[in-house]
């Protein structure tokens, strides 16, 4: 693949342009829109995905909603807000971004200024996440005690954030500092975010890697081939319990058994300070077709009953540390301090 510049989302010409991640890695297809409904659909379809990027996309969507020729801007805002709120339930960044935008809207006196004011706030959210990604990468270097082989799960790079990523940013910064020897990327079934997206980003970054099935991870650990496991997160409770892509809990159990440290990398916006533990995290369940077919090609009978959680919960005691833009936190976690 030719190494080229790519981006996950941009705001230009009074509209949002995003990379349709469902077409990757075979096609780099960018979608331009100023319709909040189209952005909501993109979030639901996983054309736009990754907890931080979902939040950024929703913020831009609320801004462009204010472009509508409507006499009742408040009603338009509330309609867009409720629509976006319903897109995906697990990633806390979505609700954090919506809350920030709602607060900003509540301060507006002249609704003729609503579009520009909300757009500036959305750009601020985007810029802040970009800065967070960079800081996460710099902090993350400190977990490396030697040049290491890293295993990662799902996709945590530019495709899921406003910057270089979370766990991917750690890996990239460490590689640039000669601290990463090789990366193993889980394929991440059923939607193959690892084989479609993480491999795409690793190749573009020039980082040596290998893909493997999710169920191969424990075997790699048994063979002594893994030094560190680093993943992202979609929601972190105050006690450190973490919701991430389905399969992360299995990795954590295997890592714990083989005495391999597992780290979570995520911005502080992923910490849900309203919940005490992972028991309070709502898990999203996806459509059965995502498991029964691949790229619209049926691979199992549509009559089968299926179990389709998009995320699982990793208990805090299985997590060696949580890397944020603020610092590296170690178990036991207390984010209120």
Q: 9-134, superfamily in CATH?
A: translation initiation factor eif-2b, domain 1 (1.20.120.420)
| pLDDT above 90 for 207 | yes
| pLDDT above 90 for 28 | yes
Percent of the chain's residues with pLDDT above 90: 93
DSSP reduced 3-state for 235: strand
Task: Give the pLDDT of residue 296.
Answer: 85
| pLDDT above 50 for 101 | yes
Mean pLDDT of 267-275: 94
Domain boundaries, the chain: 9-134, 135-330
CATH for the stretch 135-330: 3.40.50.10470
| pLDDT above 60 for 130 | yes
As a whole number of angstroms, the distance between CA 146 and CA 102 comes to 46
Task: Give the pLDDT of residue 1.
Answer: 42
Buried b (16+ CB within 10 A) or exposed e, 44-69: eebbbbbbbbbbbbbbbbbbbbbbee
Mean pLDDT computed over every residue of the chain: 95
Mean pLDDT of 77-104: 96
**Among 34, 234, 272, 312, which one carries the catalytic annotation?**
234
| pLDDT above 50 for 2 | no
Mean pLDDT of 300-312: 96
Task: Give the pLDDT of residue 38.
Answer: 98
Task: Give the pLDDT of residue 126.
Answer: 98
| pLDDT one-digit tens code per residue, 35-53 | 999 999 999 999 999 999 9
The residue among 334 and 112 whose pLDDT is bigger is: 112
Tell me if residue 20 is catalytic: no
Task: Give the pLDDT of residue 294.
Answer: 87
Residues linked to residue 321 through DSSP beta bridges, in sequence order: 263, 330
Task: Give the pLDDT of residue 232.
Answer: 98
| pLDDT above 60 for 3 | no
| pLDDT one-digit tens code per residue, 51-81 | 999 999 999 999 999 997 777 999 999 999 9
DSSP label of 198: I
Query: CA of 152: how far to CAs of 37, 160, 196, 213, 328, in Å?
Result: 33, 14, 14, 12, 18
């Amino acid at each position: 693949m030719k190494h080229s510049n790519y981006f996950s989302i941009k705001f230009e010409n009074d509209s949002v342009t995003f990379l349709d991640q469902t077409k990757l890695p075979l096609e780099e297809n960018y979608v331009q829109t100023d319709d909040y409904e189209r952005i909501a659909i993109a979030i639901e379809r996983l054309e736009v995905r990754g907890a931080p990027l979902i939040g950024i996309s929703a913020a831009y969507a609320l801004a462009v909603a204010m472009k509508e020729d409507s006499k009742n801007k408040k009603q338009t805002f509330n309609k867009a807000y409720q629509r976006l709120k319903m897109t995906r339930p697990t990633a806390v960044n979505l609700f954090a971004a919506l809350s920030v935008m709602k607060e900003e809207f509540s301060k507006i006196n002249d609704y003729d200024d609503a579009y520009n004011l909300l757009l500036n706030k959305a750009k601020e959210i985007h810029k802040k996440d970009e800065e967070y990604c960079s800081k996460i990468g710099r902090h993350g270097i400190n977990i490396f005690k030697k040049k290491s082989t890293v295993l990662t799960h799902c996709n945590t790079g530019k495709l899921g954030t406003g910057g270089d990523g979370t766990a991917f940013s750690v890996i990239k910064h460490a590689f640039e500092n000669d601290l990463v020897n090789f990366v193993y990327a889980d394929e991440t079934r059923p939607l193959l975010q690892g084989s479609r997206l993480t491999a795409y980003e690793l190749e573009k970054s020039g980082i040596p890697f290998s893909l493997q099935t999710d169920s191969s991870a424990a075997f790699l650990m048994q063979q002594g081939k893994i030094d560190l496991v680093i993943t992202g997160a979609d929601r972190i409770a105050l006690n450190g319990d973490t919701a991430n892509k389905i399969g992360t809990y299995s990795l954590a159990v295997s890592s714990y058994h083989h005495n391999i440290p597992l780290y979570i990398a995520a911005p502080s916006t992923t910490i849900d300070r309203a919940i005490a533990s992972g028991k309070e995290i709502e898990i999203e369940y996806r459509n059965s077709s995502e498991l029964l077919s691949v790229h619209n090609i049926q691979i199992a009978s549509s009559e089968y009953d299926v179990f389709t959680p998009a995320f699982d919960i990793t208990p805090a005691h299985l997590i060696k540390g949580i890397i944020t833009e603020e610092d590296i936190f170690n178990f036991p976690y207390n984010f209120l301090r």
